[in-house]
Amino acid sequence: MAGKGGGQRTQSAAQGWLDRVHQWWRRALDTPGYERHTLLLVLKSTLAATLSWVVSYYLLDAPSPAFAPFSAVLIMQVTVYQSLLQSLRYLGAVAVGVAMVAALGFLGGPDLLTFVLVALVGLSIGRWPALGAQGSQVATAAFFAFSTYAAATSATQKLTQLGEIIVLVLIGCGIGVVVNVTVAPPMRYRSAEYGIRSLSTALNELVSDMYPALREGEVDEERCRQWRRRAEQTGGQITQAKEGLRTAEESLYFNPRRLLGRHRGRASFEGYGAVLGALERSLYQVASLTRGLHQWQEDEGGRYDDKAFLDDYAGFLESLAKIGEVLSQLDEDSLTEQAQQLCRLADEAQEACRKVRDGASRGGLPLADPARPYGVLVVESTRLMEEFRYACDVLQRYVDEKA
């Protein structure tokens, strides 16, 4: 019985693995997401490596042909711009490493002391900021070059083989860049949308949890602590969103696809950048709001005397949740309709914000008392409204300029 049960578990695990593989391939073939980008990168890297090997091994009959395919794969980056930049840095790092071996080798010979100097100098030069992520390749290239230098039998052979390393790296980088530019060059403009969607979803989910509790007067210390913690944990998402915007901007540089189809005429992501900045500031303001609520609960027990004010504030947060919901589904194909919808929602939110301010004034709430949360709530409502109004107006101008 135990053996039968173990066999069933193994079969179930194998079936689960096959299902996950099938789902991965289906996503790669059906949707332009992470899986498709990964598949394209693997196929393009394979093509670049194969072409580099053919040139270096079959055409040039090089003694160390692996340098070319290794270089081709190494500089296959997510954007054409990064491929060009990293190939130049990598080629520079290799050239420096090989030249250093040539200089130290001919001065000291292929002995242990020379290798120590090669390692010391190579690792030191590798920290040069201009080489960026390719700095470590100075020492790597120097070690391979030293091995080649030590195995050569004559001065002419030494120079020839050291020079050949640079030629092979140049071939590999060139083929890698050509393949990346000509075969489905990566146009990651959607990564800017993904960043906005991510931040909008986080904001929407948080305020959607807050406004029903405020409306019902269920603002206890534990709930406020959770809101505060969630608001303060969005820093990683903000960093990822900024990285996505940077990748989207870089994907335009030197990319032939920007001249074709839906990408024609796109010059920048300035509108998306402004919206992303507004969302970032909004999340910081929501964090300030949740800190005020939590401190009031923690220090004073958090008794709220004005139910009408909480109702008004819940209505304002609900209007922000609606804006966040639309932004969480941002799609350039539907941007015209979404921008119009956002402007209408921004008008509603502005009215809700005015109602909060007027209600606080009429209710005689202690807005100037730093120990009470009312002043913070009113101030942050105004700031949040300004940010969302700005974000909606920026998107509308972006749509109008494209029309």
6-10, 129-133, 197-201, 278-282: least confidently modelled range:
6-10
Q: Who wins on pLDDT, 135 or 78?
A: 135
Residue 74 forms part of a structural domain = yes
Distance (Å, whole) CA 36 – CA 200: 25
Average pLDDT over residues 217-243: 83
Q: Which of 206-215, 248-257, 389-398 has the highest mean pLDDT?
A: 206-215
Residue 223 forms part of a structural domain = yes
pLDDT on residue 268:
57
Q: Who wins on pLDDT, 131 or 193?
A: 131
Residue 20 forms part of a structural domain = no
Residue 364 forms part of a structural domain = yes
200 neighbors 330 (Cβ within 8 angstroms): yes
Same domain, 172 and 221: no
Which of 182, 217, 238 terminates a domain? The answer is: 182
Q: Who wins on pLDDT, 167 or 263?
A: 167
Distance (Å, whole) CA 247 – CA 245: 5
Same domain, 232 and 119: no
Q: What's the structural domain count of the chain?
A: 2
Same domain, 128 and 164: yes
Q: Which of 152-166, 183-197, 211-225, 229-243 has the highest mean pLDDT?
A: 152-166
pLDDT digits (tens, 9 = 90+) for 112-122: 999 999 999 99
14-18, 188-192, 390-394: least confidently modelled range:
188-192
Could you give the maximum distance between any two Cα atoms of the chain, in Å? Answer: 95
Same domain, 158 and 195: no
Compute, in degrees rounded to 10, the torsion defined by CA atoms 178, 267, 82, 34: -90
Average pLDDT, the chain: 83
pLDDT on residue 261:
46
In this structure, what CATH number is given to the domain that contains residue 221? 1.20.58.220
Residue 371 forms part of a structural domain = yes
Q: Who wins on pLDDT, 120 or 399?
A: 120
Tokens of 80: 């054409």
pLDDT on residue 4:
57
Distance (Å, whole) CA 297 – CA 373: 10
Residues of the chain with pLDDT > 70, as a percent, come to 88
Q: What is the 3-state secondary structure (H, E, C) of the chain?
A: CHHHHHHHHHHHHHHHHHHHHHHHHHHHHHCCCHHHHHHHHHHHHHHHHHHHHHHHHHHCCCCCCCHHHHHHHHCCCCCHHHHHHHHHHHHHHHHHHHHHHHHHHHHHCCCHHHHHHHHHHHHHHCCCHHHHHHCHHHHHHHHHHHHHHHHCCCHHHHHHHHHHHHHHHHHHHHHHHHHHHHCCCCCCCHHHHHHHHHHHHHHHHHHHHHHHHHHHCCCCHHHHHHHHHHHHCCHHHHHHHHHHHHHHHHCCCCCHHHHCHHHCCCCCCHHHHHHHHHHHHHHHHHHHHHHHHHHHHHHHCCCCCCHHHHHHHHHHHHHHHHHHHHHCCCCHHHHHHHHHHHHHHHHHHHHHHHHHHHHHHHCCCCCCCCCCCHHHHHHHHHHHHHHHHHHHHHHHHHHHHHC
| Among 57, 52, 62, 60, residue whose Cα is nearest residue 161 | 62
Same domain, 78 and 198: no
Domain residues for 139? 29-182
Tokens of 31: 């949707």
Tokens of 149: 């230098």
Same domain, 145 and 207: no
Residue 225 forms part of a structural domain = yes
| Among 181, 192, 147, residue whose Cα is nearest residue 48 | 181
Q: Who wins on pLDDT, 82 or 322?
A: 322
The sign one gets for the Cα dihedral 269, 272, 278, 283 is negative
pLDDT on residue 336:
86
309 neighbors 362 (Cβ within 8 angstroms): no
Average pLDDT over residues 34-56: 89
Residue 309 forms part of a structural domain = yes
Residue 242 has pLDDT above 90, yes or no: no
Q: Which of 31-35, 72-76, 217-221, 256-260 has the highest mean pLDDT?
A: 72-76
Same domain, 176 and 246: no
Same domain, 250 and 173: no
Same domain, 162 and 224: no
Which of 182, 200, 216 terminates a domain? The answer is: 182
The sign one gets for the Cα dihedral 170, 176, 179, 184 is negative
Q: Who wins on pLDDT, 204 or 30?
A: 204
Residue 5 forms part of a structural domain = no
Same domain, 284 and 166: no
Q: Who wins on pLDDT, 114 or 293?
A: 114
Distance (Å, whole) CA 236 – CA 242: 10
Same domain, 251 and 354: yes
Q: Who wins on pLDDT, 304 or 131?
A: 131
Same domain, 218 and 354: yes
Residue 7 exposed, middle or buried by CB count within 10 Å (0-12, 13-18, 19+): exposed
Which of 149, 165, 182 terminates a domain? The answer is: 182
pLDDT digits (tens, 9 = 90+) for 165-190: 999 999 999 999 999 888 877 656 56
pLDDT-derived band at 18, boundaries 50, 70, 90: confident
